[in-house]
């Protein structure tokens, strides 16, 4: 039995995006796909196998728990844990975490001496792989450039650690003007020069997120870390120039009620909408618990086989109302497209992000646990979009 809310994840599009990104790289440059936050809301159990089949070299997650989940869905390649996985006060818990890191062959991010000292006290039988993170200007996690050599020396002296990577992260790579980003690249290069003699052959250097992967080839180094771009989206509109990325996610539901209201009737909480004419109303089982947030009240549109329909009234926890008055008849069970995978649509991820005054990341990462993620595409034998759903034109609705 399927959910009332389904996110169709197009694995063909994931594979296409991987090929498009790889085409921008020099031969031999690796791809580390960022799959944190449940693969940016797309569903880790669907995305990870698709990216592994597409030849992605490595994956990155935010937490140890995410890394263990990634292994549990069959990911066999290296995993980099980006967060402070050992930043716990309890020594016993730290030891358990280290055991898990060793058992599942994870790569740990290290950004301070305290973490090295804590690991040294554990006397591990086999060393675990570590990547040093350098703060080149982002101002979050990372060792300051002038302290990087000391940290690298401490890791090399620790028998429980093996230094296999050095990386940094951008603060403004999605800006059209790259002044800070280029300063960060220059700082990272200086650090690499300073510690170069301390690094073993094959140590991986990486810095580029999606934006830098698309626009700053000087930041590619040995590996890039695309996140949003893997899912067919870009952090800012200008970043999509010159590359065809295909959004992988399409969120659908259906009508659970279709009814007629007279003029002057309230719709939803707070009397935010009152009908100005006899109105045909459709109810859709999605709400802010599912990530379809209240700021979309009286603002968003949804797609149907008959045309677009505006969301009217306040978005509630579990339902929205849409105005069907100007559309050909629709009935219970008819499909509703809440998020379209066609970039030019008014209910695409970029359009919703613009409407909300936020970024595409937030739109997809808010998608909730009631949403059933299913794989579609040729590799799954499930068509990506029913042939009966046309390219729609926004309805001219007056309410």
Active site residues: 36, 269
Is residue 61 left, alpha or beta, with left meaning phi > 0 and alpha meaning psi from -120 to 50?
beta
Residue 38 contacts residue 2 (beta carbons within 8 Å): no
- CA dist 337 and 319 (Å) reads 14
Q: How far is CA 335 from the centre of its chain?
A: 26
| Torsion from C-alpha of 79, 82, 83, 88, nearest 10 degrees | 40
Find tokens 């093996």 and name the residue.
162
Tokens of 37: 């936050």
Give SS3 for 234.
coil
- CA dist 110 and 131 (Å) reads 6
Tokens of 18: 């991987």
Q: What are the φ/ψ torsions at residue 9 (nearest 5 degrees)?
A: -105, 115
Number of Cβ within 10 Å of residue 352's Cβ equals 26
Q: Which 3-state string (H, E, C) describes 116-152? A: HHHHHCCCCCCCEEEEEEECCCCCCCCECHHHHHHHH
Please compute, for residue 173, the number of CA atoms within 13 A of its CA located in the half-sphere on the CB side.
26
Q: Look at the alpha carbons of 344, 348, 354, 358 in this order and tell me if their dihedral is positive or negative.
A: negative
Residue 99 contacts residue 74 (beta carbons within 8 Å): no
Tokens of 278: 């006899």
Number of Cβ within 10 Å of residue 386's Cβ equals 9
Q: What are the φ/ψ torsions at residue 372 (nearest 5 degrees)?
A: -85, 120
Q: How far is CA 349 from the centre of its chain?
A: 12
């Amino acid at each position: 039995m399927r959910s009332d809310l389904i996110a169709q994840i197009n694995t063909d599009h994931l594979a296409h995006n991987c090929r498009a990104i790889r085409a921008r790289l020099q031969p031999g440059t690796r791809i580390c796909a960022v799959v944190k936050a449940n693969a940016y809301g797309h569903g880790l159990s669907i995305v990870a196998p698709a990216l592994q089949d597409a030849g992605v070299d490595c994956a990155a997650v935010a937490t140890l728990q995410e890394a263990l989940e990634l292994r549990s869905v069959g990911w066999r390649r290296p995993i980099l844990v980006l967060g402070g996985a050992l930043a716990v006060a309890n020594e016993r818990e730290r030891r358990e975490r280290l055991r898990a890191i060793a058992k599942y062959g994870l790569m740990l991010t290290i950004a301070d001496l305290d973490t090295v000292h804590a690991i040294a006290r554990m006397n591990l039988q086999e060393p675990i792989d570590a990547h040093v993170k350098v703060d080149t200007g982002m101002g979050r996690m990372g060792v300051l450039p002038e302290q990087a050599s000391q940290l690298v020396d401490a890791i090399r002296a620790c028998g429980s650690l093996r230094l296999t990577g050095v990386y940094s992260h951008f603060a403004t790579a999605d800006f059209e003007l790259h002044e800070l980003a280029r300063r960060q690249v220059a700082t990272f290069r200086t650090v690499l020069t300073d510690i170069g003699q301390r690094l073993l052959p094959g140590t991986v250097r990486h810095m580029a997120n999606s934006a830098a992967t698309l626009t700053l080839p000087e930041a590619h180094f040995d590996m890039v870390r695309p996140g949003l771009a893997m899912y067919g989206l870009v952090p800012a509109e200008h970043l999509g120039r010159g590359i065809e990325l295909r959004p992988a996610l399409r969120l659908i539901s259906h009508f659970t009620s279709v009814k007629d209201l007279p003029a002057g009737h309230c719709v939803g909480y707070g009397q935010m909408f009152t009908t100005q004419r006899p109105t045909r109303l459709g109810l859709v089982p999605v709400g802010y618990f599912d990530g379809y947030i209240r700021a979309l009240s009286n603002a968003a549109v949804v797609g149907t086989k008959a045309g677009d329909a505006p969301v009217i009234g306040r978005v509630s926890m579990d339902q929205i109302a849409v105005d069907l008055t100007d559309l050909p008849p629709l009935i219970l069970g008819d499909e509703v497209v809440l998020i379209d995978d066609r970039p030019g649509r008014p209910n695409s991820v970029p359009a919703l992000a613009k409407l909300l005054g936020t970024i595409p990341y937030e739109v997809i990462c808010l998608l909730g646990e009631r949403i059933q993620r299913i794989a579609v595409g040729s590799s799954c034998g499930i068509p990506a979009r029913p042939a009966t759903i046309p390219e729609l034109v926004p309805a001219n609705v007056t309410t």
